[in-house]
Chain A
């Protein structure tokens, strides 16, 4: 068997590992095994690549490769190990961005190394696609990271003539692409690279923090496509298949996520959603309306003598690291014979399934986690809806106010419960930047403060009730 055939076979094994990784994610039971299969595939592929003459042929280059891998591992492993579970979305963004950057660099380096002017057009096209998409993914992920990490404002950034400017940059890139294809000029390629980075930044600026996870999913898909383009450039089945798997699955996931928010993808990308604080109901806003605020003791009694309590967690619960106290409260109530369940919105937290991860971390049993579609029929017979650090996902404006930016988004029907309790730090609107009329509902009681402190106070209050 020739070395080339052996290489193809080994890479095929790696590809099967990747497919198993994605398949394993179909159930919590096999997900971890699947991920290990993917990691094994990666290890086999990378390990075998070291045995190829083009990699070990030049000792100096081999040393550089090993040093680079060691540096990357030394930075990546501690970063990934130490990140808080709440900061996972921005971590995924950063690891996605570097992948896009690597793909763009591969394309640039290949372009430089191509001999003379006799390059086939399709070769240049593949390279340009890799540079463009990889650079957009790299720069876009960087801005997405900054938004989620709150290094910059999470609100959409808009300026006069934004759309024409963005379109202008897009057209300029298009023109440059054609020019580069015709001339195969390296200087032009560098301009394409710089403009693509700029496009990545200005593309992400007008996207609000609440929509950034959808964007990360889209950029994840882009990186996959950039990797596939590198695969075409390097004549590598491995890169084409792995990149395309990610590109296709990322597209599907992006669609599922925008569907969960009740919006279309173009609306998410181009509408600068959440840039203004919009008034909700027809009465023009919250002015003059009163909010009822209660003590932990009052609410503790309310919970202790309820028959059915729905806990509706949101990102506020996550940032306060309150998932463990929330479970303590649920357990305390359950000991008193109260029926408790968690109503989970599909986009609770920062990404679909993010809240499930956080609650699983706090050892909340699976059967208490109820998805939105199953939870909503239960809400009418629920005595207390306890909303912990959530806001937009229970905002009735999504059902009742056609003019509202979140109109049409599926919500958890907290408004149907007999009593509603909000644990919030302040009256500030949620991530989408719109007011919530449910806060002013006569059925609603507010308990202001950090979610973790409030929940601890409630546990004590329920115990003494």
Chain B
């Protein structure tokens, strides 16, 4: 069992710390009306795990790895496409009047209790 950090680990940690600051700074300027699209947009970005799942499934051997890897790729793809499509639909609402078309109405099914 090896205790010392492997080669490159320090580099990755440096990148991690710097990315944390960038993420914090970039988002601190977002106006509150865009918080919901922001949550959805950042949700889409962590769909980048898809690249990781592809690498894992590509390298997989044996039934267990293949099954888990396959499931992982399906889930990650859902994250990516769902995240970007939902965000795009939300932001579509912010476009100028003439270009938006109303959503089809749906049935009311909730109560009126609300945090708001």
Q: Which of B2, B22, B50, B55 contacts A102 (CB 8 A)?
A: B50
Chain A positions within 8 Å of B43 at CB level: 92, 95-96, 99, 220, 223, 246
Interface size on B, residues (CB 8 A): 99
Per a CB cutoff under 8 Å, which of A80, A248, A261, A314 touches B89? A80
The size bracket of the interface on A is 35 or more
Task: Decide: A28 and B34 in contact? CB cutoff 8 A.
Answer: yes
Point out the residue from B59, B70, B89 that lies within 8 Å of A68, measured CB to CB.
B70
Which B78-111 residues sit within 8 Å CB-CB of chain A? 78-95, 97, 100, 102-103, 105-111
Q: Is A108 an interface residue (CB 8 A)?
A: yes
| B26/A102 in contact, CB under 8 A | no
A26 B49 Cβ-Cβ under 8 A: no
Contact of B116 among A21, A108, A119, A315 (CB under 8 A): A315
Interface residues of A in 11-65 (CB under 8 A from B): 14, 18-19, 21-23, 25-28, 31-32, 34-36, 38-39, 42, 45-46, 49-50, 52, 54-58, 61-62, 64-65
Return B54 CB to nearest CB of chain A, in Å. 5
Q: Which residues of B contact A245 (CB under 8 A)?
A: 19, 22-23, 26, 42, 45
Determine how close the nearest CB of chain B comes to the CB of A230; give it in whole angstroms.
5
Interface string of B13-36 (1 = CB under 8 A from A): 001100111111011111111111
Q: Is A101 an interface residue (CB 8 A)?
A: yes
Interface string of A334-350 (1 = CB under 8 A from B): 00000000000111111
- B6 smallest CB distance to A (angstroms): 6
B86 cross-chain contacts in A, Cβ below 8 A? 80, 83, 88, 91-92, 95
A sample of 17 cross-chain residue pairs with beta-carbon separation below 8 angstroms, ordered by A number, consists of A35-B87, A50-B54, A64-B69, A72-B78, A84-B106, A85-B89, A102-B50, A103-B52, A106-B72, A121-B2, A231-B52, A232-B9, A240-B16, A243-B49, A353-B32, A393-B114, A428-B113
Q: Does A180 contact B (CB under 8 A)?
A: no
Q: Decide if A362 touches B102 in the complex (CB within 8 Å).
A: yes
Check if A68 sits within 8 Å of B106, measured CB to CB. Answer: no
CB distance from A271 to the nearest CB of B (A): 15
Known: A61-B57, A320-B108. A21 touches B78 (CB 8 A): no
Chain B residues whose C-beta falls within 8 Å of the C-beta of A4 in the assembled complex: none
What residues of B have a CB within 8 angstroms of the CB of A85 in the complex? 89-90, 93, 103
Of A39, A79, A119, A320, which contacts B82 at CB under 8 A? A79
Nearest Cβ distance between residue A3 and chain B, in whole angstroms?
A: 14
A197-254 interface with B by 8 A CB criterion: 210, 216-217, 220, 223-224, 227-228, 230-232, 234-253
Docked CA distance A49–B109 (Å): 44
B30 surroundings in chain A (CB, below 8 A): 22, 25-26
Which of A21, A238, A429 gathers most chain B CB within 10 Å?
Answer: A21
Contact between A105 and B53, CB atoms less than 8 A apart: yes
